[in-house]
Structure formats: structure tokens, C-alpha cells
Structure 1
Amino acid sequence: MRVWLFRAIALILPLLVLVLAELAIRATGTGDNWPLFKVNPANPAYLVTEADIVKRYFANNTALPSVKMEPAFLLAEKPDNAIRLVVQGGSTAAGYPYGAGASLAAMLEQRLSRTFPEQRVEVVNTALAAVNSYTLLDLADEIIAVKPDAVLIYAGHNEYLGLLGVGSNYLASQSPAVTRLLISLRKLHSFQLIEQLYQQMNPMLETTAENSRTFMAKVARDKDIALDSAQFEAGLKQFDSNLSRLLAKYQRAGIPVYISTLVSNLADQPPFHSKPVPAATRQQLAQLAQTSPNTATYAELLQALTTAATAAGSAELHYQLGQHFLQQGKATLAKQQFLLAKEHDLLRFRAPEAINQQIRQLAERYNATLVDSAAAFTANSPQGIPGKGLLLEHVHPNVQGYFLLADSFYKALGREQALGSWQKPVPSEIAWQERPITPAEEHAGYLRILQLKADYPFRDEPVNVQFPVAQTPQQQWGQAYVEGKLDWLSLQNRNAQYYHQQGNGDMLLKTLKIIADALPHDANANLQAAQILLKAGRKAEAKGYLQRVMLTPVATSVAEQDSRQQAQQLLSTLAL
């Protein structure tokens, strides 16, 4: 008996020492907490997402690219009649390069609010550029705590070259289990202190030139991840391991999940890095382009080139063959070659098709709803091959593409009759007209893509970007926004003022709603949106904005109190 007692003490004592050390370190204020949701200081009735959430994954003085989460607000106490969805994913789910207006959260919230006008709709964005399945899994418990009615996932492109990816400069460990353990340990202030001491003894510095590079230029450590290689399989294992745990968590919590297949630019994105095409094969390609398709020579050349591409695993050769078939009007053959080009691209900024297969299998295994966005993009692309008509570069959609992505989720929710009775579904045409993004933001996105394509992997060396001369006030403001001369709210206020002066009621309504939806805790913004909605005869929607105004704390500014009084009067009028 005494032996077992001593053994128990021997086991418990070190743990007790660690717990006491952790509490002591926290008491001194050493270390940081990076919760996903924190109380909004401007209005404690709301929580707001932590912009610097990525810092929880790295030691304090680790040099990281600037990656921030767009602020999203949700009520600290979820109302009984509320609809709350949470979006998880990487930069595409977050709406890059346009910002929050093109995100899944904003596109869906705008449309669902009109679908369920009598209910409060919150679609909360937790998507963040550059992250992968480790971050999705790490945030799951905090997402469960805010009681979402469903979680929407669009993720998978960053498993190889995102933060903590298997081929990334920001890799923590080759083992998914060890990486998950490190993520958990970094929440301990004592562990953070040890990391800081280590970093001080082993400083990591970046040059000014490196700091000016895009994230894609910084992140890629391994540029030759061949199809079916050990590292390729490690990326698939990482994704399956983390997503299995993620979906199991939501399943146990009784939270429905909608998970989407991934979309890549096939027709208009050449491979980033490929095994070389021999000179003799290039000559055959040139000869093929000059040979009549209805000849034996053409058939022989085509057979030789197809065999060479398969044998060599050359992404570039597959892509050239795809372009040739496309020019010949052979769309099926062209798509096959474009897919092979993506699969054999050694620089894996695009998810391989194996990840889409995993997504389908995981959805079935954990009873999640599959949203087949890949099929939607195929159906809406010329000759069924996604390209520049819907995508800006390798994976990020243009505005039409982002709308199609959100539309895929909206229709999946509708088919499931999720969230309640879909008595007033919003047609795509109306939702497109009311998309929550302004021309100034669209121009800003265009300029950000120019910046992105001016560096690796689109170019071997960075080049200076020359923005085109702005032709409209919106383009001027969009450029000022990109250059940091205007913040987002100032940009939208200029839009509102301009549309008011021009007498453009539709765009003024859209802009005021965009501001109010982004800042639900702002009494004046929501009162303005409600007033213009009332003028448009949209009383049910206006009521929702007025109810937001009434959530402003009593001890606020005179202006906010005035907004509360006006909102109360308008609500009383609506009740009559």
C-alpha cells in the first residue's frame, strides 16, 4: 500500500510543481493569451475575433509574414431566435484579395438575412490566409463554445505550403501528432517563456528585402514535392488526420458541417515548377502545332508526346498538351491534361485531386454535407474547364467566382432545409445585385493581385508594380486603400457620401448595409441602414438593424443614446 502511495506522490508532485509554476508565471503577466473570441471593448454585448490569432502558433519574436484575421462580431449571448454560422478555412474562405466583402461569411450573411428576415443572422468568419487544417482543428473547441447552428468549411490548398505545412518554411514538425502537441503546449505561459528564452539565445533575423516579399515568396521551403512521393503522402496524411479529428468534434457536439470541394485554375495557370521538357520533345510540340490533325503524322506525334508526358511526369508538357487540345476544340482531352499538369506541379500551391477525394470521403464518414463547389465552377466555366473567367490566379476566385462559391453553400443549406423553413429563398439574380462589395473594393482586389503576381512564384525575382492610372473616384479610393492611405471604414464612408451626392439610392443602400453588417455594435451605422431600408419599404430587414441599435450599452456617448431613442421610436412605429 505504501509503495503505491509513494508512486502516486512521485507522479503527482511534478505535475503539481508545473501547475504552480504556470500559475505563478501567469500572475506576473508573462506570456500571452490569443483567444479566438474576446469581448469587444467598444460594446461588451459583442465578442470580436482576435486579429492576431496566428501569433498563438509561434514564439513572440519569430519573424512571420503579416497574416491577420478580419474582425468579425457576434453577440456574447446568442438570442433564442438567432441563426449563427461559422466559416472556417484559408484565404479563399476569407475573401482574398477583396477582403471581407467577398468572403463566404459576408456573401452568405447578406443573402440569409433576406431569407430569414424575422431572425437575427450571424455568419462569423474565422478564416485566415495561409493557415491549414492544424488551425481549423485548434479553433474547433472555441467555435463549439459559441453554439453555431452549422460550420462551413472551405480548406485544403495550404496543406503543403501554408503555415505548418509539410513543405513550408514554417513547419513545426514532420509528425502531425507532435505538431498538435506543440500547438497545445504554446497555450501554456510557462512554455511560452521557455520558447522566448530559447529565441533570445538563437535570434532569427530577416533582412529588409525579405520582409518586403509576399507570403508565397517566403513560405515555400520545398519546391519539388513530386506526385506520390513520401512528402506528398505526408500532406495527405496531415489533412486526413486533422480533418478527421475536426469533423469528429463537431459530430460529437451535434453541430452540422458543410464542407466544400476545392477549386483550382486549370486552363489559365501554367505549372509553377515542373520537370523539364527535353529539347527533342519541344521540337515535337512545335511540329504538332504545324501538322494537320487528320494525318498519320499528327497521330504519331500526339501519341509520342502523350507517352512522353506520362513517362516523364512533366507538368509543363501536360499543360502544353492541354492547351493544344483546347485549341482543337477537344475539351475532354484538354481537361484531362490540365488536371495532370496540376497534379504534377512540383510547387504545391494548389491542392491535388487526392484532397478533394479525401473531402468527399470525410463528409460521408462523419455525416457532413458535401458542397461540391468544384462541380459548380466546372458547370459555369467555358468548355467545363475552370480558368480566368472565374479565377484571378491559381486558386483565388474573382468576384463572380466568390459569388458562385457562396451560392454553392447557400443552395446546399437550402436543399437540407437547414436553419428553418425556407419560405423566402433569395434568387441568385437579386443576391448578385446586392453582393456586399463595392467597386472601390473590387479595384483594390485587382491591384493586390498585380502585387501578388509581381513576385514568386509567378516571377523568379520581384519586380516593381506600376498601378494603372485611376479613372474613377472609386478606383482612386481603392488604390489609396491598398497603399494604406485609407482605412476600410473611411473608404466606405467616402463611397456612401459619393452615392448620396449622385442620388444613387441602390448603391447608397448597399454601402450603408455593408458598414452596418461589418459593425453590428455601431449604433449610428445600424440606424442609418435601418432608415434607408424603411424608405425602400423593407420593414422586416429594417427591424433587425433597429434591434441592433438597442443593444448599445446604456452608458454610452450622447450620439449613441440619441440613436437608441430614434431606434426605439421607429420600432414602436413598426409595432403599430
Structure 2
Amino acid sequence: MLFRVVAVLLALAVFPVVEGVLALFDWGRPNVAEDPFVGFTGSHSLFVLAEDGERYEVPPARRNFFAYESFPATKQPGTFRIFCLGGSTVQGRPYSIPTSFGTWLKLALQEADPSRNWEVVNCGGISYASYRLVPILEECLGHEPDLIILCTGHNEFLEDRTYHRMSRLPGWVHQPLGAIAGTRTFTLLRGAVQGVSDSAPAEPDRLLLGDDPDAMLDYNEGLAAYHRDDDWRDGVIEHFGFNVRRLLTIAEEAGLPVLLLAPCSNLADSPPFKSEHRPGLTEAELDEWNRLVEEARTLYRTDLRRAAGLLQDAIAIDDRYAATHFEQGKCYEHLRDMEAARECYLRAREEDICPLRILSPMEEELHTIASEREVPFLDLHELLEAGSRRGILGDDQLVDHVHPSIEGHQQIARWLLETMAQEGLLEPRDGWEDRATAAFEKHFESLEDHYFLRGIRTLEALRAWTRGEADGPPAHLRFPERITRRRAGEDASAAGDRRPEAAQNSEITSP
């Protein structure tokens, strides 16, 4: 037995020696930026040199998705440069960069440590998912960054793509396999096999996407492109974890610190955007489900506890219809059973056919990744929810389904500064909080009225977008494979269509 153990240890000892030799000669370096599932048809820069040659700026061609932003081409001594990467939450929607957490962070940093020149560059892109942030991060590495703030998770389900090559291995297998796949030895062996095998493609067989997002909801009646697809959902979730890990790996290899943020979502006041019945529901089951839901709604003003019980009976018949969970959550909330209400709201979010909010498995993945990589981590949902009046995040902290209020962005900036201080990135002087508050008020008062009017119009357009009412071409012309069009004379009694009229809309009647 001792001989066998020694033999195994000696065999394993060869591997680190080989890795050391390969590292010494820089052979077989893994390409961590490569995405095996999606690629891009072009690579237009987010920042280009301005005509005067003194600043980098977002060019007009990119401003459909990014707000105008700029920073000095030459980084001055004593400058600490931060790039904020993510989606529209980072950009500050429905407003813009002037009231985003990046701007408030810069103001707070100037008050906390005026001895340094603080630059905070906003790279928040509308509808930008995690896989679209990799080229942005790689570009930012060429601009002498000192810190990356990464906030992503809401936009993963916006673009149509497939995951036919996604592995279906158990979760506990992925970490060791991922570690092996990231070695130089594996990279060289894979290249050798692909070089001699006719069946192994030289290039990954992956979907090519355009430079900017082509969201399904950018098309009129875009909600029609969404249907229940559990395999696609699982692929999106796994791809998300893969992308966050490679973003952190790219930064780590560049010696660049990262602050990782989990985005927040509206649970209490944002109904699911689309609901569908579970597959295989029989005619009799659907009739009983309809009866229970309709009877529950007649009791919303008189007997909420009985209504919640009837909705639970309906959920026992079909637990995949998202709107029912949300309505039951409203019943429990008005009954002051906040724990039960929150569980219902979470389940409603999970069953949403059009997931415009980060899902629980993705939130859990962010926690896991932060722990694995020992990365500073802020769960914005937990932090904002802790200050919510009801103990469930809703309209008191957010302006819509995902975007924080201006006050929320200010609070996020304070948390970021405190985290930076904990990580030794600055030593804030005493009293910075009060001075930062004063600076916030002065900046807020400097904004003109039309800035807020534009924000209100953007919010109205955003709400129409979530209802599938975009001004783009009809969705069925772009996504025919995902849309089942109902023609005149078709059987409207199909299980997916025979639900109470009020439940067919994204707006749910509140008790």
C-alpha cells in the first residue's frame, strides 16, 4: 500500500514540474478571454481619442447604448483611475451618469481623500450582459486602471442564443475540471489533439453576435419571443457564472483589484413580466385552477387569508405560473407575514418567463465566486433591502424593476468607499460622510430641470419596453423560432391561453 501511494504521488509530482517549465518559457498560456459559446462580428472601441488628442471619449457610434463619457488621455501623477463596468444600473438609468453611483463615488472620494486625483469612468452599457463586458474590460486595461467595479446580472436573458454545447455535469464537478482546463499543460494537449484530429474544429463553434445588443424586447411585441425553456435558462445561468469568473481572471492576471457587486431587483412591487402554465396541464386541472384564482380575487378586499389559501390550492395544481405566486405574496404582505411574502415574490421572479431581473441561482453564483476568488463583494440587494420599510425591496428604494433611486445610488457610493477603505485603497479623513453629503446636495442642485424630465420620459419608455411595446419591427420577423403566432380560428382554449383575463397582463391586481 505504501509503495502504491508513493507511486501515485510521484506521478502527480510530474504535473507541477511540467507546469513550471511551461510557465518559465511562457508556453501554453490559456486564453481566458475566449468565450466558447458566443463571439462578436466586430470590435469597435468604446473609447477613442478626441480631436484635440487630450481625452478619450465615447464616440457617437456607441452612444445608443453608452452615455457620453471621457477621461484624460495622459494619466497624471497622483491619479487613481476607476472603471465601472456593467449594464444600465451602472449607467444610472433611467437618468444618466450625473446621478449614477460612479459620480457620487467620485464626489465622496474627493471629500474623503483630497490629496489624490480621483477619476471614475462610467462604462455602463444599456442591455449589456456579462459576456459583452469582456471586450470592455480588455480595452480598459490599456488605460492604466487602478480598480475595476463590476456589477452585472440583469441582462443575461435579453439576447437570443443557444447552448447546445453547454455541459450538463453536476455542479461539484465543474470547479476541478475548470482548474484543469485552465492549466498550460491542458492548453497544449488540447491544441495538439485539435491539430491532428479531423473531428476537432480549429475554431470554437459559437454564435457570432453584433457589436451591440440585439435584445428581443427591442422589437414590437417582443414578449412574444419568450416562452418557457428550462434548458435555455440553465445554459444562460451557467454561461453567466463562466463569464464572471473569466472577467475576474483577466483582471487578476493584470494585477488589477476588482470590487464585485450583486445587482438589486424589485421583488415587492414588480409583477412578473410574463407567465405561462406548466406543460401537461389537463383541461380539468386548468378549469379548477381558473376557478380557484377567480374566487381568490373576489376575496381580496374582504378575506385575504382565505384568498391566500385558495391561491395555494391553485399553486398545488400549477406551481409554474409566476403571477399566482406574486398575487399570493401580496396577500401575505397585507397580512403582515413578510417572510412568507418574500418567498412568494422570489418564486414569482424565478418563474418569470421573461427574466429581466437576476435570478436566485445567479445571485448564489456571485456569492460563491466572490468567496472562491476572495474578491471584495457587495450584495446591493441585501444592503438596500435592509433599509427598506417593509423588509422587502420595492418601490421605496427602486424606480422600476431593477434601477435604484438617486438616493439609492448615493448610498451605494458610500458603501463602495467604505469597502475601498477596508481594502486599503484609501484612508478617509474624519468627517468625510458629512462633507460628502454636502457635496451630493450641491451637485444635485446644479442639475437642470430638463435632466430630470428626460429621466421621467426614459422611465416611461422603459416601462413600455418591459411590456413588449418597443418601437422596433415586429418580433416575429426577427425571432420566428421562438414565437408561436395565434391565427384567427385557432383553438383559444389551449392550456397556455386559458387563464383569467386579468392574469394575461403583466400588471397584476393588488389586494
* Deviates further, 265-274 or 394-403: 394-403
**Cα distance in 2, alignment partners of residues 344 and 173 from structure 1:** 20
Cα deviation for residue 301 of structure 1 reads 3.9
Report the residue type matching 2:79 in the other structure: A
Which of 455, 462, 466 lines up with 1:457 in the alignment?
466
Give 2:297's aligned residue.
Answer: 286
Deviation at 1:317, TM superposition (A): 0.5
TM, length-normalised to structure 2: 0.67
Distance 1:458 1:367 in 2: 39
- Contact 2:304-2:331 at 8 Å conserved across structures: no
Give ranges in structure 1 of 5+ residues lacking alignment.
1-30, 54-65, 188-205, 463-576
Q: Does 2:145 match 1:144?
A: no
Is 1:75 paired with 2:72?
A: yes
Given candidates 390, 400, 415, the residue that maps to 1:393 is 400
What is the match of residue 49 of structure 1?
A: 58
Query: 1:338 deviation in Å?
Result: 0.8
Query: Which residue of the partner structure matches residue 39 of structure 1?
Result: 49
TM-fit CA distance, 1:84: 0.6
The 3 A distance-change label for structure 1 pair 365 and 32 is closer
The RMSD of aligned alpha carbons is: 3.3
**1:252-331 equivalences in 2 (<5 Å):** 252-276=253-277, 278-286=289-297, 288-289=299-300, 292=303, 301=310, 303-305=312-314, 307-308=316-317, 311-331=318-338
Deviations 1:502-561 (A, max 9, x none): xxxxxxxxxxxxxxxxxxxxxxxxxxxxxxxxxxxxxxxxxxxxxxxxxxxxxxxxxxxx
Amino acid paired to 2:253 = R
Q: Secondary structure at the match of 1:396?
A: coil
Amino acid at match of 1:156: G
Partners of 1:367 and 1:154 lie apart in 2 by 16
Q: What secondary structure, in the 3-state scheme, does the structure 2 residue paired with 1:289 have?
A: coil
Are 2:355 and 1:352 equivalent residues in the alignment?
no
C-alpha distance in 2, partners of 1:273/1:108?
36
| Corresponding letter in the other structure for 2:459 | I
Residues 174 and 79 (structure 1), Cα distance of their counterparts in 2 relative to 1, 3 Å cut: farther
The percentage of counterpart residues that share the same residue type is 23
Tell me the secondary structure at the aligned position of residue 384 of structure 1.
coil
SS in 1 for 2:124: coil
What pairs up with 1:89-238 in 2 under 5 angstroms? 89-161=86-158, 165=159, 168=160, 171=161, 178=204, 182=208, 215=218, 217=220, 222-225=225-228, 229-238=230-239
Bigger CA drift: 311-320 or 276-285?
A: 276-285
Amino acid at match of 2:438: I
Q: TM-score, normalised by structure 1?
A: 0.60
**Equivalent position of 1:366 in the other structure:** 373
Higher helix share: 1
C-alpha separation in 1, matches of 2:42 and 2:271:
43
Which whole-Å CA distance do the structure 2 matches of 1:140 and 1:47 have between them?
15
Q: Is the 8 A contact 1:34 1:50 kept in 2?
A: no
Q: CA 1:141–1:175 in structure 2 vs 1: closer, same or farther (change >3 Å)? A: farther
CA contact (8 A) 1:51 1:70 kept: no
Structure 1 residues 287 and 451, CA gap change in structure 2 (3 angstroms)? closer
Q: Which structure exhibits the higher relative contact order, with contacts defined as CA atoms closer than 8 Å and separated by 6 or more residues?
A: 2
Instruction: Assess if the C-alpha contact under 8 Å between 2:270 and 2:400 holds in 1.
Output: yes
Offset at 1:182? Answer: 4.4
Offset at 1:337? 0.7
Per-residue Cα deviation, 1:455-493 (whole angstroms, up to 9, x for no partner) = 34336688xxxxxxxxxxxxxxxxxxxxxxxxxxxxxxx
1:52 aligned counterpart, secondary structure: helix
- The Cα of 1:298 is off from its aligned counterpart by 7.2
8 Å Cα contact 2:55-2:71 kept in structure 1: yes
Change (3 A) 1:50 1:243: farther
Segment of structure 1 superposing worse, 79-88 or 398-407:
398-407
Distance verdict in 2 for CA 1:33–1:340, change over 3 Å: closer
The verdict on how the C-alpha distance between 1:144 and 1:331 changes in structure 2, with shifts beyond 3 A counting, is same
Q: Describe the superposition over 1:23-69 as per-residue Cα deviations: whole angstroms up to 9, x where unpaired.
A: xxxxxxxx986223321213x2222234434xxxxxxxxxxxx7232
Report if the CA contact (8 A) 2:223-2:468 is conserved. no
Counterpart of 2:441 in structure 1: which amino acid? Q
Gaps of 5+ in 2: 1-40, 167-202, 278-285, 472-511
How much does 1:109 deviate? 1.5
Number of aligned residues: 381
1:246 corresponds to: 247
Q: What amino acid is aligned across from residue 251 of structure 1 in structure 2?
A: E
The match for 1:490 is none
Q: What is aligned with 1:430?
A: 438
8 A contact 1:275–1:312 mirrored in 2: no
Counterpart amino acid of residue 289 in structure 1: Y
Q: Say whether the 8 Å CA contact 1:84–1:124 is kept in structure 2.
A: yes
1:450 maps to amino acid: E
Q: 2:455 is matched with which residue: 445, 452, 468?
A: 445
Structure 1 Cα separation of the partners of residues 49 and 457 of structure 2: 34
Partner residue, 1:63: none
Preserved CA contact (<8 Å) 2:308 2:328: no
Measure the CA separation in 1 of the matches of 2:205 and 2:251: 21
Q: Do the aligned partners of 1:271 and 1:342 also contact (CA within 8 Å) in 2?
A: yes
Quickly say closer, same or farther: Cα 1:223–1:287, change in 2 above 3 A: same
**What amino acid is the match of 1:158?**
N
